[in-house]
Chain A
Amino acid sequence: MGNRMRVVYYMNQFFAGIGGEDKAYEPPTEFEGPVGPARLFEKKLGGKGIVVKTVSCGDNYFAENAEKVKGELLERIRSASPDVFVAGPAFGSGRHGIACATITSTVAKELKIPAVTAMHPENPGIDVMSMPAYVLPTEIMATTMDNVLTRISKFVLKLVEGQAIGDSKVEGYISLGRRVNIIDPLTGADRLFPLLWAKLKAEDFTTEVPLPKYEVIPPPPAINEIAKATIALVTESGVVPKGNPDGLVSWSEERWFKYPISHLDDFTSTTHQTVHGGYENTNVNQDPDRAVPLDVVRALEKEGRIGKVADFLLTTSGNVCTTDSAKRMGCEMAEYLRRERVDGVILTST
């Protein structure tokens, strides 16, 4: 490839300058040339490539119409005859990460060209990544954009020049379990012993085979007599009493709060609001039952379909929440709910 390589670049509606959460339902669209971060990315290619097209889609539209969007974006990308595809970076944004991972993996598989994206290692998009696409790690916040684009551009140039890509830790990408046979001077037995010795001494060591991260949670038994059961409402949608008395934050929250609801049949725009920064809040602010269905659950209690609605709503803001924080909060909430003799939980999420 003597000429400059042709790049097609994907980003969500925010980075493409279309709008924020208010435009998250925008369908796929495209721009000629580079837009948003693709402009800086193109500069970093140092004349070796040009971004011929930027494609974009609203995060919510993508999440709710993934199959259709995949197909449509693939055709828009294919029609630009790219040599390389780049998406994101998505940093800590879950929906953007899932969209980037989905389209990058699809392009790699269907168009058989190098395809690279980037996001935080805990982004749920990582679980959607598939080979032969690549994903580079980033911080949670987009403040490191310049550094990330530099890394992506160097990685892309390596791929395009046909250079061998080695171990993920050395090359700076997130391992997806790609297996490449290499000859190691030491046998398996020789490599095993130092690891075992370190483990027995309770010292740090790096395993050669990391086990999957998420634990298997055995499902609790079903509720036998739900007409006698106490059901609690829990949410990560950020619904709080109007005025947000405890200052629940809109992202990266590490606390949860409980608010009394036994005196309420319904949430309204005068009694409650949401502060979650990860979705457009208008619909839920108009009627918070759209995120936490108190009106219906209270009616079912009155009808005798359930025994009782628990006295308190447990709430947090799940936006850009690390898995460690979420797990800790979940355990704390569970302990509280068990003390309150709650039989079952309806936990709502956006």
Chain B
Amino acid sequence: MPEVAKKIGCNRVVKGVAITNPTGDPGLPVEEERSLRRKVVLQALSALEKEVKTG
């Protein structure tokens, strides 16, 4: 729920897949799920590497 995180003041917020599985998807075959998880994590790393301004 990225809106809540941003409201509280988090600067680097990546949207997860779903509430019950932020970094996964049980509806996908294992390999595809792994790829999806990797994509979300790479977005997170990219956020860590990026300069961010408040507001």
Contact = CB atoms under 8 A, between A and B. Distances in A.
Interface of A: 24, 60, 63-64, 94-95, 98, 124, 127, 214-223, 226, 229, 231, 237, 279-284, 286-287, 289-293, 295-297, 299-300, 305-306, 323, 344, 346, 348-350
B19 A95 contact: yes
Contacts of B53: 219
Contacts of B52: 219, 222
Interface string B18-55: 11111111100000001001101110110011111111
A39 B15 CA distance: 38
Contact of B9 (A98, A215, A290, A297): A215
Name the 4 nearest CB pairs between A and B, nearest first. Answer: A290-B24, A219-B11, A290-B21, A219-B52
Contacts of B44: 346
B9 A296 contact: no
A308 to B, nearest CB: 13
10 contacts: A124-B7, A214-B9, A217-B54, A279-B20, A284-B20, A286-B26, A287-B26, A291-B21, A300-B38, A346-B45
Contacts of A221: 51
Given A218-B54, A300-B41, A127 B7 contact: yes
A281 B21 CA distance: 9
Interface residues of B, number: 35
Contact of A284 (B4, B5, B21): B21
Given A217-B11, A226-B45, A237 B18 contact: no
A320 B41 CA distance: 26
B22 A237 contact: yes
A25 to B, nearest CB: 8
A282 B37 CA distance: 18
Contact of B45 (A280, A305, A350): A305
Contacts of B41: 293, 296-297, 300, 346
A346 to B, nearest CB: 5
A289 B49 contact: no
Contacts of A215: 9
Contact of B24 (A98, A217, A283): A283
Contact of B21 (A216, A217, A283, A299): A283
For B12, B24, B49, which residue has the most chain A Cβ atoms within 10 angstroms? B24
B38 A63 contact: no
Given A217-B10, A219-B54, A306-B45, 18 more contacts: A60-B20, A64-B18, A94-B1, A98-B1, A124-B4, A124-B7, A226-B49, A279-B19, A286-B26, A289-B23, A289-B24, A290-B26, A293-B37, A296-B37, A296-B41, A344-B48, A348-B23, A349-B1
